[in-house]
Structure 1
Amino acid sequence: MTLYHFGNCVALVYVPYYLAYKQSGLSEYGAFWKCVQAGMIYMFTQLIKMLVLATFFPDNVGEGTGSLIAEFFKDTVDLADLVGLYFVLNGIPGKGHSKVLTAGIGWATAELILSRALLLWIGARGAEFDWIYIQKCLESNVLLVQHIATATLIWLWSRHNLNKNLKTIITLLLILTCYKPLLFDSLTHILQLGVWLGLVIKAAFALVYGLFTLTIYASVADIIGIY
């Protein structure tokens, strides 16, 4: 039973990433090492964030307004992820769709390995079944969609021939992504949401976020021909 549960978790968390890589056609572009490069930049970015957080935001803040302000500034550090993805996109040659897919999948895979692999190896192989590992696996699939959408928005934002009003909208969406954890945590605390309902809300946000990003990308592609 333990091995069966672990196998289910591994399949649930890794198979969607594999299918996204294969079915998107990235394997035909030889994008594997570019995905690895994206993962390396992800790890370097997280190291920088950890150093900044440890230096300026020690984990000793109490409850209340001070804690909320501290969390706001901590989430501000997540702007480094946008910078990291920007450098990833600049290092990938090719057309728009291959660039954003390579950057998004590589970034999401690196986050998956660093934040989920050890958890599943230690926890999902335990003697007792726990739904938390299924939840973490499903959340990783939600993050895959979100990271690809974020990479797409950053790539669109970096284009010089983009409409200024549209660029403002994209900038606001990217900022919203950075402060999403704070918004979800506040919403969960205020509404006393359970773990599963919170996961559904995150999935709904990622779906809307992804569809909105796809709409922007398609409209811009039709106008200036960036496929």
Structure 2
Amino acid sequence: MTLFHFGNCFALAYFPYFITYKCSGLSEYNAFWRCVQAGATYLFVQLCKVTSLCLRMLFLATFFPTWEGGAGVYDFVGEFMKATVDLADLLGLHLVMSRNAGKGEYKIMVAAMGWATAELVMSRCLPLWVGARGIEFDWKYIQMSFDSNISLVHYIAMAAVVWMFTRYDLPKSFRLPVTVLLALCVYKAFLMELFVHVFLLGSWTVLLVKAVLTGAISLCSLFLFVTLVHSN
């Protein structure tokens, strides 16, 4: 039962990445090492984000040592500032795409696959390897596997929006919706945490809401991307 549970979690978490890599045409371009470089950029960006958060906490502890949020009170400003640090992901994705030559689709998929795979390995690989092999069955590892697939879709959409936003020939009518999508990509986790805090959602409901929100952002990004490419 343990091996069966681990196998299911492993398949749900990793196979969609493998299928996406094969079916997107990246394997035909021998883009494996490009994806690895994108993953390395992800690690560097996360290190910078952690450093900036530590400096922020040090600043607050130094100049505002007596400030403490009440018990059970949602720290809106603090969580918003944490989410704002995710703007570094946009810069990282742009850096990866600017260093790869080729069509927009190729740049987007290389950046998104490398970024999402690095996140999968760094944040979910060890919990799945250790936890899913435990004696008792736990649904949270199935949820973690589904969440990794949602993250893959999220980063593909984010990379597409970043690519569109940085185009010099982006029509003026596209700037507002693309900017809104960028903001949603950055602050999606913050909005989800706020939503969960207000409505006290269960784990499966949270996963469903996250999937719906990610799907909506992805469909809007796809529509804008297809329209932009065909208009040129």
TM category, shorter? over 0.9
Map Cα deviations across residues 5-35 of structure 1 (whole Å, 9 max, x no partner). Answer: 1111111100000000001111001110110
1:26-175 to 2 correspondences below 5 Å: 26-57=26-57, 62-63=69-70, 67-175=75-183
Counterpart CA distance in 1 for 2:193 and 2:78 is 13
- DSSP-derived class of the 2:128 partner: helix
- Aligned residue identity for 2:34: K
For normalisation by structure 1, the TM-score amounts to 0.94
Give the CA deviation at 1:104: 0.7
Q: Which consecutive unaligned segments of at least 5 residues does structure 1 have?
A: none
Counterpart CA distance in 1 for 2:132 and 2:10 is 9
Q: Give yes or no for the alignment of 1:187 onto 2:195.
A: yes
- How many residue pairs are counted as aligned between the two chains? 224
Any runs of at least 4 consecutive aligned residues in structure 1 with deviations exceeding 2 A, and if so which? Answer: 57-66
Aligned 8 A contact 1:75 1:182 in 2: yes
- Cross-structure match for 1:5: 5
Counterpart CA distance in 2 for 1:62 and 1:92 is 45
- DSSP-derived class of the 1:17 partner: helix
- Aligned residue identity for 1:146: H
Aligned 8 A contact 1:57 1:74 in 2: no
Q: Which consecutive unaligned segments of at least 5 residues does structure 2 have?
A: 62-67
Map Cα deviations across residues 169-211 of structure 1 (whole Å, 9 max, x no partner). Answer: 2122111211111211111121121110110011111111111
Counterpart CA distance in 1 for 2:161 and 2:140 is 31
For normalisation by structure 2, the TM-score amounts to 0.92
- Larger CA deviation: 161-170 vs 120-129: 161-170
- Cross-structure match for 1:214: 222
Aligned 8 A contact 1:49 1:80 in 2: yes
Aligned 8 A contact 1:57 1:70 in 2: no
Map Cα deviations across residues 33-68 of structure 1 (whole Å, 9 max, x no partner). Answer: 110010000000000000111110369853476711
Root mean square deviation of aligned Cα: 1.6
- Cross-structure match for 1:14: 14
Aligned 8 A contact 1:9 1:134 in 2: yes
